[in-house]
């Protein structure tokens, strides 16, 4: 049976075409995509699930905030407009089959893989959680497999998912996104430890930033003052992953700190 959702604020009927971990995805009459940011949250490949009040509002508002900043700085994105408190209209893209992760500090899966002796850390990086990575590092992971995994550029090329030229573009634009967000956040005493982004292709083949950006679902935010004292005080999804407190409170705090003039 076809599913439809009618939002008065959208002024048209929309067909539900997918449900992600945190967003519902609709196809609008004009071919655009509408994201509905929900209060759902998952961790550990879906093994841990919950819902938290205001999470969808915070992530939608922060995604709009960063899309506007990045667009002003010349980063092409699929963002069109925010609709209501939790809706976002975007360009309908063919999403690339890899996610891009930029890391400024040792944390998350990078630290776990090092502890499990699966990888070496980048040169001149201390072997401790929270250590800065000189000049940062870029990783790719699969997107459409049952469980996402790190993937090399050679595997991406061999599988014909992307070309070397396209991968080089992703490196450059993700580095630019990092520079913009990192400096902006540092002025607000927030450390951007790492983040993930997705990209998609328009019908003309142009690759642009997709999905969401700069939200606590997809970024690892640390309080800088706590970091200086040796503490990793999370203001992101790690609050949920590591049972560090109330997720709604943490998300509202990071929203207020980022958007405050």
The per-residue pLDDT string of the chain (261 residues; one tens digit each, 9 = 90 and over) reads 233 333 434 444 689 999 999 999 999 989 999 999 999 999 988 889 999 999 999 999 999 999 999 999 999 999 999 999 999 999 999 999 999 999 999 999 999 999 999 999 999 999 999 999 999 999 999 998 888 999 999 999 999 999 999 999 999 999 999 999 999 999 999 999 999 999 999 999 999 999 999 999 999 999 999 999 999 999 999 999 999 999 999 999 999 999 997
Query: Where along the chain do its domains lie?
Result: 4-90, 94-259
| pLDDT of amino acid 260 | 92
Considering only CA atoms, give the Rg of the chain: 18
Q: pTM for this one?
A: 0.93
Q: What is the SS3 assignment for 28? A: coil
CATH for 94-259, options being 3.40.50.2020, 3.30.470.20, 3.40.640.10, 3.30.110.60: 3.30.470.20
The pair of structure tokens assigned to 230 is 């040796």
| pLDDT of amino acid 14 | 81
Q: What are the helix (H) ranges across 187-245?
A: 224-228, 238-241
| pLDDT of amino acid 146 | 83
Sign of the torsion formed by the C-alpha atoms of 73, 75, 81 and 87: negative
Nearest to 253 by CA among 223, 213, 217: 223
| pLDDT of amino acid 13 | 66
| pLDDT of amino acid 6 | 38
| pLDDT of amino acid 261 | 76
Nearest to 189 by CA among 226, 215, 214: 226
The fold of 4-90 is Phosphorylase Kinase; domain 1 (3.30.200)
């Amino acid at each position: 049976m076809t599913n439809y959702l009618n939002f008065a604020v959208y002024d048209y009927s929309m067909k539900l075409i997918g449900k992600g971990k945190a967003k519902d995805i609709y196809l609008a009459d004009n071919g655009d995509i509408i994201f509905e940011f929900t209060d759902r949250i998952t961790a550990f490949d879906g093994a841990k699930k919950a819902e938290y009040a205001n999470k969808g509002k915070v992530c939608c508002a922060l995604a709009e905030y960063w899309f506007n900043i990045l667009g002003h700085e010349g980063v092409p994105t699929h963002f069109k407009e925010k609709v209501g408190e939790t809706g976002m209209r975007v360009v309908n893209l063919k999403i690339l089959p890899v996610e891009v992760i930029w890391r400024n500090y040792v944390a998350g899966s990078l630290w776990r893989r090092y502890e499990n002796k699966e990888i070496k850390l980048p040169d001149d990086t201390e072997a401790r959680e929270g250590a800065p990575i000189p000049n940062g590092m870029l990783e790719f992971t699969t997107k459409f497999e049952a469980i996402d995994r790190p993937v090399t550029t050679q595997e991406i090329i061999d599988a014909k998912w992307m070309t070397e030229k396209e991968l080089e573009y992703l490196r450059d634009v993700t580095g630019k996104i990092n520079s913009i967000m990192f400096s902006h956040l540092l002025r607000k005493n927030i450390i951007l430890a790492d983040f993930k982004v997705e990209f998609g292709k328009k019908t003309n083949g142009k690759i642009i930033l997709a999905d969401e950006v700069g939200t606590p679902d997809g970024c690892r935010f640390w309080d800088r003052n706590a970091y200086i004292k040796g503490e990793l005080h999370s203001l992101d999804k790690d609050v949920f992953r590591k049972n560090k407190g109330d997720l709604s409170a943490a998300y509202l705090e990071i929203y207020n700190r980022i958007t405050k003039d």
